[in-house]
Amino acid sequence: MNRRYFGTDGIRGRANRGKMTAEVAMKVGMAAGVAFKNGGHRHRVVIGKDTRLSGYMLENALVAGFCAAGVDVFLLGPIPTPAVAMLVRSMRADIGVMLSASHNPYFDNGIKLFGPDGYKLSDEIEMKIEGLMDEDLSRRLAGSDAIGKAKRVDGVQDRYIEHAKRSLPRSLDLNGMRVVVDCANGAAYRVAPAVLWELGADVVSLGVSPDGRNINDECGSTSPGALARKVHEVRADIGIALDGDADRIVIVDEKGREIDGDQIMALIAESWLNAGRLTGGGVVATVMSNLGFERHLGKLGLSLARTKVGDRYVVEHMRANGFNVGGEQSGHVVLTDYGTTGDGLITALQVLACVQKAQKPASEVLNRFEPVPQLLRNVRYTSGAPLEEDEVKNAIESARGRLGDSGRLVIRPSGTEPLIRVMAEGDDTHLVTMVVDELVEIIDRAA
């Protein structure tokens, strides 16, 4: 499918440039409003955002587009992506929108769309919206007497706080646990510390002073160094790092060691298996998850179903096959018992619950398996299709043969940046490193 606007996670780009302008945002509002109109009732959309400077511009452009399509707009303000997905259903909205570029720097932004069921849109619906964006919609917009209204909604953060707290049993609290939480100066800067404190934790907060430009700036899940240092400094039991829109998490144990999404999913899956809660017979993850994770699940009698990269594809497989635990190595963890998309805070609560129940250090509880040596490197390119070059194709085929059955190779273009990601893993560290270095050199030459 040729996509002009949508990537693997909505529309994303440099703010006020290219496809992330006020004009494009207004077209998204009009096109999505037209696409989702079904029946004669007053249609409604909920719009949330993170703390980026460009959020003001894009939010107002979306409002104009949806109102022009005859859709009433409910503005949620800064709030996590999973809260938007939850509020679409809670407020009986027809559409949900989140303005965020997730873990990207402040000068990027993005538009994520959710259907009335709280799930991200399918490829087919996104393509329908793309088609409408390039049409003349003047005859399909609302009449002068049917233009939509817009209003800001109070109390939505409190709704999400209670929703997150209810993911833990009433009998369980976090008393006696010291937790450092880094909110990345992003969408969860208010709700995450509040949830942890109300559950009884001794909370130390980082990244809770957004100014429009400091989101993900040497903080949050992409830069957990500050979190690790603070965990050491205050002798915390565990550290939690969220990204800009709080749908992603990285854990730091009491020793300052970073814990990725594979270990987190392994812990939750094993806990739910023991409690008789795990469905689907395993976990859904992407091609990037570690081979050691797959082997660990196999020892438990569980499967690892792999999808292409993107939490949307993970969720689609989960829904189609009855799984309730899935996610990405990067820290997007989806627990469909509690939500329809990745939720960093609710994932953190499940981890904290396991640590609290075990009454053991986080480093011990979260060390579920020994990862296979894995190396990921990126090759940036400006144009063309380097992966279509014969030299590159031959090199990839040769590398797969060298790794054999004891390793894996994943080569893929990024869905959000002009990068080609080269990942190899296997039991032989030297071979993995050599394979990746050689492929990066060949792809870089072709790029």
SS3 288: coil
Considering only CA atoms, which of 138, 48, 33 is closest in space to residue 341?
48
| Residues with active-site annotation | 102
Mind spelling out the 3-state secondary structure of 173-236?
A: CCCCCEEEEECCCCCCCCHHHHHHHHCCCEEEEECCCCCCCCCCCCCCCCCCHHHHHHHHHHCC
Rg of the chain over CA atoms, in angstroms? 22
Distance CA 358, CA 352 (A): 10
Measured in whole angstroms, the distance separating CA 312 from the mean position of its chain's CA atoms is 9
Considering only CA atoms, which of 362, 53, 408, 412 is closest in space to residue 214?
53
Burial class (CB in 10 A: 0-12, 13-18, 19+), 312: buried
Distance CA 163, CA 199 (A): 13
Q: Please count the CA atoms within 13 angstroms of the CA of 163 that sit on its side-chain side.
A: 23
CB-CB contact of 99 with 59 (8 Å) = yes
Token digits for 115?
């259907």
Measured in whole angstroms, the distance separating CA 426 from the mean position of its chain's CA atoms is 27
The Cα-based distances of 47 to 60, 79, 142, 161, 385 in angstroms read 10, 10, 20, 18, 36
Token digits for 107?
């000068």
The Cα-based distances of 158 to 60, 75, 185 in angstroms read 24, 15, 19
Distance CA 113, CA 46 (A): 10
